[in-house]
Amino acid sequence: MSTTAAERGLQNDGQPSESFSVWNHLKKASPRLNNNPNSYEAQQLNRLSLDQCVKCTICETQCPVTRVTEMFAGPKFVGPQAERFRNGESVDHTLDYCSSCGICTLNCPQGVKIAELNSMARAVMKQGHMPLRDRLITQTSLEGRVLTPVAPLANWALQRKPLRVAVEKVIGVHRDAPMPVAQSQSIRGWLRHREGPMARRPGQPDRGPVVFFTGCAGTYFEVETSKKTIEVLEHLGYTVIVPRQGCCGLASQSNGLFDQARSSVVKLAGDLAKGGRHVPVVTSSGSCAGMVKHEAREIMGVEDRTVTDIGARMRETSEFLLALADAGELPTDFERIEMTIPYHAPCQLKGQGMGMPAIRLMELVPGITVVESGENCCGIAGTYGLKKEKYEVAQAVGRPLFDKFKESGAELGACDTETCRWQIRAGTGMDIVHPIHVIHAAYGLSDIHSPQV
Amino acid sequence: MRDVIVVGGGLAGLVAALRLRRAGLHTTLVHMGRGGLQLGQGTIDVLGYRPSLVAHPLTELGEFCALEERRGGPTHPYNLLGVEPVRVGVGFLRELVGEAMAGDIETNVLLPTALGGLRPTTLYPASMAAGTVSLDPSDPGALHDGSRVVVVGIEQLKDFSCQLVAQNLATIELPGGGRLETRSASVSFPGRGTEADSNAVAIARALDRPERRRDFVAALGRLARRGETIAVPNVLGLTDETFTAIADGLGRPVFEIPLPPPGVAGMRLTDRLTDLARAYRVEMILGSRVIGAETGLGRIRSLRLGTAGHETDLEARYVLLAPGGFESGAIELDSYGRLHEPALGLPLAVPDAELLNDSWAGEQPIFRTGVATDCTMRVVEPATGEPVHENLYAAGGFLAGAQRWDEKSGEGIALASAVRAADSIIEQLKES
Ligand SMILES: Cc1cc2nc3c(=O)[nH]c(=O)nc-3n(C[C@H](O)[C@H](O)[C@H](O)COP(=O)(O)OP(=O)(O)OC[C@H]3O[C@@H](n4cnc5c(N)ncnc54)[C@H](O)[C@@H]3O)c2cc1C
Ligand code: SF4
Ligand code: SF4
Ligand code: SF4
């Protein structure tokens, strides 16, 4: 027997769920909705939640940007309050300082979609005068494709101060902003050239196929994380399918380029769906998972069956492995690793409601103690902290986190998403890895001190 | 499988989760946002009015319960619990937070409010101790007849009018006789940069920084006169060390007066309990709403969470609900005048009388609505007293029978019921 509210007939007028029915209703009322995510109608879904605001100010106390700068009026003002006065044009330009980290939505006890409201309003505000910079930095897979063949040169160039100053002046990417390290081989190159799948761990059953979603960063920059995830999954008896895949469009979305983002996410879902029906989808790019599961629909109004299906099947690597452990199916005869690991759960991950599976997962390894940062945000928020006018804000947001990591005295820290790792690496000088790095080492597949990225 | 899922990140949920975890149980805490603790005054109200002013909450609890018994309608949580669980619950909080909370469970004190009134409470942050007025004739209290108080406002903080507080406080006849001598003054102290409007949390964060704190202490030092106690709005830092540093710097009594939300004292307590839960490895799932349950054979098998992209079914042996009351959306009144418990559709105990009346500040019977439990805090059918599910317990503002704001009983009920419910689950698991 199931007793969800819907089934018990509390919503006995046949409406499956609140947000779903609103979308359907709006779509019927206005066919434009499907073509224009910035339309007035598309905004109504999240706007509806603003009436739930009781002005308790909990969001104000948690917003990491409000904490560090008076340039930003704060989530309650910019979100549910200013939204009442928006009729297309934004009445509050401090809105641009919102990093869309989602911490406000996460903490609002009344279910107001504050960050989502802000993202939509920003897209409208920037329509028609999108900075060149925001168009360029959102081309994440293009950047990877261009840089990978010339990786040593690219890395050399990115460390040249005069060049970075020029980039800041012309494009508006801050000269000290954290940058990824370009790799000479993409994950596709590695898959083509390796000698075959990793051998299955003795005694492990054939667990069937999983689709691996690499994400742009996992394809071109954080290649080591992708490799290690694939190897651990194979070690456990999975057949890992890595379909040819594009970008999820997250960076475009967070910069308000919704058309670009919509077509990216729909195309990506199609790419991943080629890996097989009902096959679990695993990813070590927590933020890209958030895009598919949450932002595509909640912010951009994407109603696409394949996106919904892939989102429902998708699990972050730690979430996936911990579920195995909880079902008693994960071999836990790990090698002992004596280490205290400071860990930061990125906003993008917290927003998905999975808790913090990486903590319990890493602590299954004997000798490991995880110290959670307890901080809301590292500051980078995707591309926010790269921008010349936001760089200082992002650094100030991240500082308490950097200090906690440094004070821990550890050499190695963990964090689940790529841009956050770049930010924390730059802010602490420490090696920051995806938690899979620890599990890979604990299964004896590598040394915990092996190359980091 | 996990032992217990606790729903709710308010005082009841956090304390219950810590109690369960300290007994070694695998505990998951789920909440859809921060709880009411951060919005209140950061004090622990056990029983303030019955309806007359309460001086000794535990000794007067019996009379309060007798009155409740005669009133009829949903049973008050204190009538189910009795005195001992209140003592245990409040004691457990003290064990968790240590020196941060002052006061004595046996006696209430009065504390100045942001409107310049006095209100009863039982435990209070150490930073409010110098502002207490005693209800016990044998104890003079920090403030008494003739005490001189300068109420200092902050120009950028619009939620606190120092003149209003000072003038109103001076008119009150103290319980031990006499009056306070008050005056007001103000300082300029923007929280961030040069902003004209600051909220309490922004100012508190600024005061956590030693260089900003020095300026503030110097300004207060300049305007206080000899023999005066300084009263400031509740902004003295998000960490407890900030208050100590300011009090030491001033070298004279200073206390905080609670503000409307965001409440800094409540936030300190929420942060402290959340940090503890984190350190004890309570598994925390934030920002997720409980939307249903799988049940069978008289038990809840799993709770369903509305998470991004898909629903998640969390299995557990026991479930402890602490989702609060109307104020947190845990109980709803629809436009047809029907009352619902939206998460699991649980039966509610509803007062027989008219639910709402047009008195503005008086009692509204609707707030007594909630779930009914037995004395172990297991959720029962209000009509029959039979358990709804064998493994379902409840605590805090979710419970039927109380008028928390009028009685000033919200935190006392939350602590007593949370610890009682947790202990019931611990006992059950030990037996099996
Ligand atoms: C502004 C304010 C002032 C107050 N002042 C006083 C006072 O002066 N004196 C007094 O005695 N009491 C006061 N109270 C009441 C007192 O704070 C509470 O009674 C007490 O803290 C107990 O709260 P609780 O833990 O039961 O619930 P709450 O603190 O309300 O917490 C409820 C939690 O449950 C979560 N939740 C709700 N539904 C769901 C769901 N479906 N799924 C997941 N999570 C869910 C919420 O997000 C929240 O974390 C005040 C409350 C408020 C809001
Ligand atoms: S307390 Fe809050 S909900 Fe109640 S009337 Fe005032 S603003 Fe409205
Ligand atoms: S999304 Fe982040 S930066 Fe924006 S208002 Fe919310 S908490 Fe603040
Ligand atoms: S936390 Fe939610 S309800 Fe509270 S002020 Fe912010 S948006 Fe409004």
**CB burial string A245-279: b at 16+ within 10 A, e below:** bbbbbbbbbbbbbbebbbebbbbbbbbbbebeeeb
Q: Name which of B276, B304, B307, B321 to mutate to probe chain A: the one with the most chain A Cβ atoms within 10 A of its Cβ.
A: B307
Residue A6, pLDDT above cutoff 90: no
CB A355 within 8 A of CB B283: yes
* Other Cβ atoms within 10 Å of A213 Cβ, number: 28
pLDDT per residue over A258-298, tens digit each? 888 888 899 999 999 998 889 999 999 988 888 888 888 87
Tokens standing for residue B411: 């935190």
Which residue of A15, A52, A56, A268 to mutate against B (max B Cβ within 10 Å)? A56
The per-residue b/e assignment along B107-119, b for 16 or more CB within 10 angstroms, e otherwise, is: bbbbbbbbebebb
Please answer yes or no on whether A62 and B34 come within 8 Å at the CB atom: yes
Domain ranges across chain B: 2-53+66-81+283-431, 97-268
Express as a percent the part of chain A with pLDDT over 90. Answer: 39
Per-residue pLDDT band at A158 (split at 50, 70, 90)? low
Report CA(A297)–ligand 2 centroid distance (Å): 32
Place of tokens 């609890």: B61
Return the closest-CA partner of residue A211 out of A261, A250, A245: A245
SS3 at position A316: strand
* Total count of domains within chain A: 2
Looking at residue B122, its pLDDT comes to 98
Position A4 scores a pLDDT of: 35
Mean pLDDT of A222-244: 94
Residues 256-315 of B with CB under 8 A from A: 261-262, 267, 275, 278, 281, 283-289, 291-296, 304-310, 312
Four-CA torsion B372, B377, B380, B385, nearest 10 degrees: -90
Residue A123, pLDDT score: 76
Is A417 inside a domain boundary? yes
Q: Which of A3-7, A364-368, B261-265 shows the lowest mean pLDDT across its residues?
A: A3-7
Final residue of a structural domain among A109, A126, A143: A126
pTM score of the predicted model: 0.89
CATH class of B2-53+66-81+283-431: alpha beta
For residue A132, what pLDDT is reported?
Answer: 66
A435 vs A320: CA distance, rounded Å: 12
CA B394, distance to chain mean position in Å, is 17
Give the residue with greater pLDDT, B386 vs A395: B386
Determine if the peptide bond prior to B51 is cis (ω within 30°): yes
Place A252 in a pLDDT band, splitting at 50, 70 and 90.
Answer: confident
Residue A343 lies in a domain: yes
Given this model, what pLDDT does residue A35 score?
41
Contact map slice: B 195-224 vs A, CB within 8 A:
195, 199, 201-202, 205
Confirm whether A238 is domain-assigned: no
Nearest to B348 by CA among B74, B5, B71, B6: B74
Q: Which residues of chain B have pLDDT under 50?
A: none
- What are the tens digits of pLDDT across the range A322-341? 999 999 999 999 999 999 99
Query: Following DSSP, what letter does each residue of A279-296 receive, concatenated?
Result: --EEES-HHHHHIIIIIH
From A126, A146, A170, the end of a domain falls on A126
Decide whether any atom of ligand 3 lies within 6 Å of the A114 Cβ.
yes
A288–chain B nearest CA distance, Å: 12
Q: Look at residue A245 and give its three-state secondary structure.
A: coil
List pLDDT tens digits, range A164-174: 676 676 667 77
Asked, for residue A436, whether it belongs to a domain, the answer is: yes
Please report which confidence band the pLDDT of residue A83 belongs to, taking 50, 70 and 90 as the band edges.
Answer: confident
CATH number assigned to the domain comprising residue A335 = 3.40.50
| Predicted pLDDT at B330 | 95
Q: State which residues form the domain around A42.
A: 37-126
Q: In this model, does residue A379 exceed pLDDT 70?
A: yes
Q: Domain containing A91 — which CATH number?
A: 1.10.1060.10
Which two structure tokens, joined as six digits, stand for A380?
A: 């980078």
Task: Confirm whether A261 is domain-assigned.
Answer: no
B283 vs A151, higher pLDDT: B283
Residue that wins the pLDDT comparison between A3 and B193: B193
